[in-house]
Amino acid sequence: MTPILTKTTTAFALTAALLGTSAMTLTPSPAHAVPAGGYGDLVEAVSPAVVFIEVEGAAQTAQSQLPDNIPEELRRRFEEMVPQDNQPRRGGLGSGFIISEDGQIVTNAHVVAGAETVSVKLADGRKFDATVVGADPMTDIALLKIEADVDLPTVDFGTTDGLRVGDEVVAVGNPFGLGGTVTSGIISALSRNINAGPFDDFIQTDAAINRGNSGGPLFNNDGDVIGVNTAIISPGGGSVGIGFAVPADLVQTVVADLADDGKIARGWLGVNIRPMTEEVANVLGYDAPKGAVIEAVSKDSPADDAGLRKGDIILSFNGTKIEELRDLTRAVAILPPETTAPVTVLRKGREQVLDVTVGTLKPKAA
């Protein structure tokens, strides 16, 4: 059976099949060994802040799938035959974790996508209604908020700098609705591209992650959140030891932006790009293709204003070396609009540095 990539939400309509990927050779890391006596102390410390999320929303109805150009009379008759009030509800379960004593909760965007109601259950059994502060489908991160009359247990973010393949990790979540489930493993790969979007930079782990783990935390041995579990490769829907988490450094940036106004503001350059070919790399004397070749520059875009041209090869952007196309996409998108950044381009065999002031990326139409 061909492996598929699955969002790890337990739901009737909240799973998505994407693309497969390959494993990576593992190397041991003596810096992060299993704690003496196991993970009991760590789990006891962090589990109160891990929550279980239940969502409910309207299912996609037959009416909503009718073509836009269908005659109005036929649409009306169809709706009379299948009343809206009789349509089934869509439900789903996911995981999350509390990051502030006043009730901010991080989860996956796909966990709460299309939700009309969101409820959160703490490890101690308390339940709260939650509001969605904002969600970012491009990174699959969402921020929720609950109101409680007492300070809530929290966990802290760690940094992904210095992580190594082989480091021990622990996942806590709500797989298949079985709340409070703990699994352990190692980091199997870093900066994994699974073709899910422009921000692919996932932590791959062999810690068991299943449907319902979506939005749950991936901890290091210090009890810091180093990732948010979001997807698995699975031929049959269960864990086969290939799971993916959004790195904590990216999550913190997205959460801070969402907390401000519920929206994400991303930089925009205004170029169409393609990879460098092997032939061009050989001519330039490179060992392998690198950089992003500009195929077109949008008129009156930030790139146009900065003097970028068709045929330029972008080698670095704001200090980030561009080895793959996603490096440029990510480097531009994480910049706040109206930020000025240096761009190193190769033009007619010579490197030049140009300054570009990025614009605002317009969200895609739903």
Answering whether pTM is above 0.85, one says: no
pLDDT on residue 150: 85
Phi and psi, residue 201, nearest 5°: -160, 45
- Fold classified for 50-80+89-146: Thrombin, subunit H (2.40.10)
**pLDDT value, residue 74:** 57
**Strand-pair partners of 202:** 192
Give the Å distances, CA to CA, from 320 to 155, 204, 307: 30, 23, 20
Q: Structural domain boundaries of the chain? A: 5-47+154-261, 50-80+89-146, 267-360
Give the per-residue pLDDT at 2.
36
The C-alpha atoms of residue 188 and residue 199 are separated, in whole angstroms, by 19
List pLDDT tens digits, range 36-59: 667 888 888 999 999 999 988 765
Contact between 308 and 331 under an 8 Å Cβ cutoff? The reply is: no
One fold for 50-80+89-146 and 267-360: no
3-state SS, one letter per residue, for 117-153: EEEEECCCCCEEEEEEEEEECCCCEEEEEECCCCCCC
Tell me if 208 sits within 8 A of 185, measured CB to CB. yes
| pLDDT in the model for residue 142 | 94
CATH fit for domain 5-47+154-261, picks 3.30.70.1230, 2.40.10.10, 3.40.1390.40, 3.30.930.10: 2.40.10.10
Q: Which residues of the chain have pLDDT under 50?
A: 1-3, 10-31, 60-65, 365-366
In this prediction, residue 57 carries a pLDDT of: 79
Q: Where are the alpha helices (DSSP H) in 7-55?
A: 40-46
Domain spanning 267-360: CATH superfamily:
PDZ domain (2.30.42.10)
What is the structure's pLDDT at 318? 93
Predicted local confidence at residue 27, as pLDDT: 37
Chain-centre distance for alpha carbon 303: 27
By annotation, the residues acting in catalysis are 110, 140, 214
Strand partners, 274: 293
pLDDT attached to residue 294: 93
Q: What is the pLDDT of residue 97?
A: 94
Torsion angle, alpha carbons of 321, 322, 323, 328, to 10 = 140
